[in-house]
């Protein structure tokens, strides 16, 4: 394939229907004007199984997260599309809590958000220390894998922890609504308890932490 549009009539590898690998491709196809009904979705299992299916010609398209793509690059397969550059909105990481709990423990919820944000900024400001921790707990195998993981972290980091509304819409429409069609009637803002985050913004917490760590973000 030369262009993404060429996937119509061909096979795209996913782990299973309704999974992130499936719903993420559906969001991408909508953004790029591709008719998903013209794509043959093949349940090819986990990441390693999908990579094997791609290299043996069982599937024609594979969406893969870094650093796993290095295995394919080393075999001569070029990266045709970078989803960070295409900017397909998605809600990749979320903190889940009952709304009633957040309303009763708003200050504690704010503290959790503060710790999460500061951990990210600290890592970006102290990359040597952060990478040492990753090597210890993630068992990163080589320098290239570490570098790709670091690049992904920097690009994916959200400076003020604000969820992307269109990302929530995409998760709702292409993941949740596949199993629960009524979910499409729920406004995306209703999936988020906003007050703790808005309280931190009003208090200039994110301005303060950006100034303190002086990190360069993409």
pLDDT of 112-125, one tens digit each? Answer: 999 999 999 999 99
Q: Which helix (H) or strand (E) holds 61?
A: strand 61-62
Phi first, then psi, for residue 62 (nearest 5°) are -140, 125
pTM exceeding 0.85: no
Looking at the DSSP assignment, which residues form a beta bridge with residue 79?
Answer: none
Q: pLDDT at residue 158 above 80?
A: yes
Share of the chain above pLDDT 70, in %: 99
Whole-number pLDDT of residue 218: 56
Q: Is the pLDDT of residue 209 over 80?
A: yes
Residue 196, judged by CB atoms within 10 A of its CB (0-12, 13-18, 19+), counts as: buried
- What are the angstrom distances between the C-alpha of 138 and each of 112, 134, 149? 23, 5, 10
Q: Is the pLDDT confidence value at 1 over 90? A: no
Which residue ranges does the chain devote to CATH 3.40.190.10?
4-86
- pLDDT at residue 81, rounded to an integer: 83
Tokens of 110: 């704010």
pLDDT of residue 121: 96
pLDDT at residue 40 greater than cutoff 70:
yes
Q: Which CATH architecture has domain 4-86?
A: 3-Layer(aba) Sandwich (3.40)
158: left (phi over 0), alpha (psi -120 to 50) or beta: beta
Place of tokens 């996913």: 14
Q: Over range 99-105, report the average pLDDT.
A: 95
pLDDT per position as a tens digit, 57-74: 999 999 888 888 888 888
Residue-by-residue DSSP string for 163-208:
PPHHHHHHHIIIIIHHH-GGGGGS-GGGGS--HHHHHHHHTTHHHH
Q: Would you mind telling me the total number of residues written for the chain in this entry?
A: 218
pLDDT value for 198: 96
């Amino acid at each position: 394939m030369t262009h993404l549009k060429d996937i119509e009539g061909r096979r795209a590898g996913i782990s299973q229907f309704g999974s992130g690998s499936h719903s993420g491709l559906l969001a991408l196809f909508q953004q790029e004007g591709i008719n998903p009904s013209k794509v043959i979705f093949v349940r090819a299992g986990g990441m390693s199984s999908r990579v094997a299916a791609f290299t043996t010609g069982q599937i024609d398209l594979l969406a893969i997260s870094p650093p796993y793509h290095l295995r394919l690059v080393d075999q001569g397969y070029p990266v045709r599309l970078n989803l960070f550059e295409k900017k397909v909105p998605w809600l990749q990481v979320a903190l889940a809590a009952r709304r009633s709990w957040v309303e009763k423990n708003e200050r504690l919820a704010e503290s959790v958000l503060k710790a999460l944000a500061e951990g990210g900024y600290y890592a970006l400001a102290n990359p040597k220390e952060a990478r040492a921790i990753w090597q210890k707990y993630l068992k990163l195998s080589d320098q290239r894998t570490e570098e790709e993981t670091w690049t992904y972290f920097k690009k994916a980091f959200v400076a003020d922890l604000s969820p992307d509304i269109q990302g929530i819409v995409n998760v709702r429409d292409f993941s949740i609504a596949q199993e629960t069609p009524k979910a499409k009637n729920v406004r995306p803002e209703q999936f988020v308890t906003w007050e703790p985050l808005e309280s931190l913004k009003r208090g200039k917490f994110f301005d303060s932490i950006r100034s303190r760590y002086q990190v360069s973000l993409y």
